[in-house]
Amino acid sequence: MRVRLWGTRGSVAAPGADTARYGGNTSCVEVRGPHGTVLVLDAGTGIRPLGRALGRGVRRVDVVLTHLHMDHIQGLGFFAPLYDPDVETHLWGPASTTLNLRGRLVRYLSPPLFPVHLRDLRRLVLHDLPVGEFDAGEFRIVADRVCHPGFTVGYRIAAGGATLAYLSDHEPALGVPCFPVREDWTSGYGLARDVDLLIHDAQYSRAEYADHVGWGHSSLDHALAFAALTRAKHLVTFHHDPAHDDDDIDRLTAAATAAVRVPCAVTAGAEGAVFELGSR
Ligand SMILES: [Zn+2]
Ligand SMILES: [Zn+2]
């Protein structure tokens, strides 16, 4: 499978000259299967340029949401395939205890917050996300709840013998006196175990995390420790804090990887980066 990052920023878009290398768009990742299935992880502002780049010939796109915080759905209304009669978009996302996915999304995709009504997007098919396993085209997907405020899931995605874990918003260290402890008590462990590529929340420095315990995110140190615990082969840090410019991300990544011996490759997630997994 082929993985491309279209938005790596957390919380709110942060465009500008000093974030140009890692990118200012919020969470969005494109995954292409060996036979061409198009899967999109989250609909942050990065989904807008992805929609423009999809190209002709694509007839179906599956978009899976981790949760409905604004940085993960803000680009949805600007996803060009939603207005293309030749493309069917299937959107998978968590319901709440009182509202289905449609009821939750309509709060954003309706006036006054957005000029187009959700009901007018005729080629959009909504699915309340099943926690557990399901298929989207050639992808076998496992969705499981993870530690983050509200109903939030992480994903494990398999196709063509390759595996990817996507844990964009994740605080597995919450409530753990010395992270990590046991594998079976660690949020997200089953999703990320032995994956080829782990895309994981790394929003804060160690010092910043101390002031943001319970906000739902990880420090770089936590992301590295989680990657080591799960034996992921390659960690891509993600959901960069909007206050961190490119030089900050370079400096924090270098410091964190120098401080601990990490048994896997580590790459700071940059908009436009492409990862090839398994054989195509
Ligand atoms: Zn987020
Ligand atoms: Zn969130």
261 vs 206: which has the higher pLDDT: 206
For residue 279, pLDDT beyond 80? no
Taking residue 44's Cβ as centre, other Cβ atoms within 10 Å add up to: 30
Cα–ligand 1 centroid distance for 87 (angstroms): 27
The tens digit of pLDDT for each residue in 149-183 reads: 999 999 999 999 999 999 999 999 999 989 998 99
Q: What global pTM score does this model have? A: 0.97
Cα–ligand 2 centroid distance for 178 (angstroms): 24
Ligand nearest to the CA of 69: 2
* pLDDT level of residue 56 (50, 70, 90 thresholds): confident
Ligand nearest to the CA of 147: 2
Residue 13: partners with Cβ closer than 8 Å, 6 or more residues away: 24, 25, 26, 44, 45, 71, 74, 242
Residues lining ligand 2 (ion), CB within 5 A? 69, 169
The tens digit of pLDDT for each residue in 120-152 reads: 999 999 999 999 999 999 999 999 999 999 999
**Distance in Å from the first CA to the final CA of the chain:** 6
Among the listed residues 189, 240, 208, the one whose alpha carbon sits nearest the alpha carbon of residue 27: 240
Cα–ligand 1 centroid distance for 56 (angstroms): 30
Cα–ligand 1 centroid distance for 147 (angstroms): 12
